[in-house]
Structures are given as C-alpha cells and as structure tokens.
Amino acid sequence: MQRVYVVAAALDPELEDEAARAAAAARAALRGVPGADWEAADQRFLGYDDNTMARLREARVQLEEGRSAYIDLRLDEAVQLLSSAVDGFNQALSALEDPSDLGNALLYLGAAQAFNGDNRGATETFRRLRVQMPHIVPDPNEFPPAVVARWEAAEPRRTDGQITIESDPSGAIAYVDFIPRGLTPVTVDGLARGEHSVRVTSPGSTPYIENTTLTRRRRQQTVNAFLMAHEEMEGLPEAVAGIAGHSLQVGDGAIAEVARLLELDKIGVIRVSYGDSQDTVKLELVMFDVASQRRLLRGEVQAPRAFGELEAVVQRSITQGVENVLRPRVGEDTEGLQTETVITGPEPADEDDDALTKKWWFWTAIGGVVVVGAVVAIVATQVGGDDLGQDPGGQVVFEF
C-alpha cells in the first residue's frame, strides 16, 4: 500500500469552485484504486475523526446492500437499509466531499418507497433530493415511469432563497448542498425553499456544518462559521495555495510541504486554469514521488465546467493515472516511455454482472432498455519512432 493523496489549486480565484470540485472528484476516485492508502491523509486534510470514517464506511456498505435489495424487489429490506445509509451519511457530512453516495441512497430510497406504496415517504425523500442535489436525476432507462413521475412531482415551486456564508477565518471554501460556491464571505442565491446543508472547510481544520431552512417568510439566511485548525496541520492552507505558483517540475517547495504534513509516499496535484472556451477548464495533473521529489506522471486535459461532467473527466484521469503510477505496466524503468489515449466502443455486458439491468424478469415487469457507455482507457507503450507524449524528464506522460 502506498500513501497517496491528491490536492488541487486554481490559477485564478474565480476558478476556486472548479478546483474544489476537481479535488473532491479525484479523492473519490482514489477509493477505487487498489494499493492506494488515502484514508489517513483524508482525515488530516478534511479534519474529521475516526468515528466519522467508521460511520461513512458503514453507510456505504448499507447503500450497496440496500441497492441490491431494491434490485431483488426485497422492498421492506431495501427501505430499511437505505434509510440507515442516509442517516449514516448525514452523520458523516464532515467527510462527505463527494455527494454521489448520499444522492444515490436518496434516489434508491425514494424508488423503494414508491414501489412499496409509501407515496408520501417517496415524495419527502425526492423533495430533499430535488432541493439539495438537483443535478441527480433518475435515469428513465433504469427507473420505471412511476418512480420518475414521483421524482418530477417533487420539483420545488420556488427558487428565490438566499444564504450568506461568513467564516472566521475568511477565505474558506463554502459549500451549499455539497456544491462549492466560492470563498467566504459569499452569498448564494437562486435556492429552493426547504432545508439546505451548509459546509465550510479549510485544509487541516475541522469543518463547520449547519443545516438551515428557507421558507416563504425566511427566504434569506446567514451562516457564521468558525473553523478550528488542527495544530499539527499548521501551514497546510498556505502550502496548498502555494501550489498555484509552483513550476510542477520537481516535488519541492509547497508540494513537499503538503506531502510532509499529510505523511504521503506519492502526491498528486491538479492545477485548474481557463480552458479554450467559457464552458471548459484546463486541468494539469502531475504526480510526484515524495522521497525523491521526482515527477512520475503528468497529463493535461480540457474538461467541461458543467457539474457532473467535470467530475467524470477527473475521476477517469485519476483512476488511470494513479493505477499506472502505483503498478507500472511496463516495468520499473520509466525512462523513455510514451503514452497514448485509446477510446474504445461499448464493451459487452458481463454475464456475471448482478446489476439492475441483468434482471430480465425485472425488465419484463417494468420495461426499459440497457445503455452501456463508452470506456476510456489509457495505455502505456514503449517509445517507437513517434515522440507522442515524450518528456525529457523521463516520467510517464499522459495525453488525456
């Protein structure tokens, strides 16, 4: 196991939201990379304790078990497991950078409630999903029309709410409903009426979390957050900010300081700048070996700024890049390697897959189709006559 973590920095203050989203997506991707030990660094960076991590692990297990119960139409069991998963995620909000787990738990819980005849419960569940995570939409190819209709009926009627967030110290990242909204102080408007989750974070500090409700009479709310820095993480926010001006050639300076404070073997850096259009950003991904400060990998990609699309690009890049760094496919010596991007067509379905789409009798009951997306793979190859991706520093170079 290698202690590895990824941080992000924005080259322009207006891109702080995108940098926070890229970092969260990268760290979510680390959970699925074999050989990556990220948990201790995550606790130090995000400022949560062992109990929070334990609750988060249990909630993720309950989510998977609840989803399986829903797929098998064991609806009472599914409702119980998914309700427990939602409660667990609620108790672990300080560690929940990526809202997809909570969003999926709410989505499947609402579907199970609707199937089980609890229309009131399904409406309440979907109302929270619509207010706090409007970007999570039930796929009509996966969920039957009755569930989609129940979700559509929970759409908020008014989006005239406003939350102002201040913090001590200022300059922290403010999240409303798990989406970064900028550095404090900041005002977020266009919010639906209902309960919203506010989270304020700074590297190495215990996050501040508050739920606040917007109503017809109280359409505007103010949240005052106090952040308590962990003494052993002193200097971490400044080191992370210093990455924006780093050359990214050698893992020294601010990069080395972040790695030291987080006690890492490998450190990944994502630097975010403006893309070729207003709808895109440019992401530089670089990974370093901490002991030697040697750069092991670098890559660059244009990514959409749209919520969900940016995260998908980051997660694919991090998964492939970190896997290559931790388990090189072409031997120990990375001198003179090149890489290429291979985009394949739809892969055939796995006959052993126990996903919802494999339950033929389930589809007989509710109808639907199966959609399989394309898979992006990154393959390392030996240098031939072409110099694609060749780098004079000798590290692996990814052209995403």
| 366 in the same domain as 218 | no
| 352 in the same domain as 247 | yes
Average pLDDT over residues 166-184: 91
| 301 in the same domain as 200 | no
Residue position matching structure tokens 């509710």: 366
In a domain, 100, yes or no: yes
Last residue in a domain, options 229, 246, 264 = 229
> Domain containing 191 — which CATH number?
2.60.40.1120
Q: What is the pLDDT of residues 94-130, one digit of tens each?
A: 888 878 899 999 999 999 999 999 999 999 999 999 9
Q: What is the pLDDT of residues 26-83, one digit of tens each?
A: 999 998 899 999 999 999 999 998 899 899 999 999 999 999 999 999 999 999 999 9
| 149 in the same domain as 195 | no
| 337 in the same domain as 250 | yes
For 114-148, b/e burial (b = at least 16 CB within 10 A) is bbbebeebbbebbbbbbbbbeebbbeeebbbeebb
| 183 in the same domain as 123 | no
| 254 in the same domain as 143 | no
In a domain, 61, yes or no: yes
Last residue in a domain, options 211, 229, 247 = 229
| 130 in the same domain as 186 | no
Residue position matching structure tokens 């322009």: 12
Write down the pTM of the prediction.
0.76
| 331 in the same domain as 296 | yes
Domain boundaries, position 165: 161-229
Alpha-carbon gap, residue 266 to 327, rounded angstroms: 13
In a domain, 117, yes or no: yes
| 349 in the same domain as 248 | yes
Confidence class for position 176, pLDDT limits 50, 70, 90: very high
- Is residue 124 a contact partner of residue 79, using CB atoms and an 8 Å limit? no
Last residue in a domain, options 229, 252, 283 = 229
In a domain, 299, yes or no: yes
| 236 in the same domain as 214 | no
**Spatial strand order in the sheet of 36-37:** 36-37, 2-10, 266-274, 280-289, 295-304, 396-399
In a domain, 21, yes or no: no
> Domain containing 101 — which CATH number?
1.25.40
In a domain, 203, yes or no: yes
In a domain, 213, yes or no: yes
Percent of the chain at pLDDT exceeding 70 = 82
In a domain, 104, yes or no: yes
| 378 in the same domain as 245 | yes
Q: Give the count of domains, the chain.
A: 3
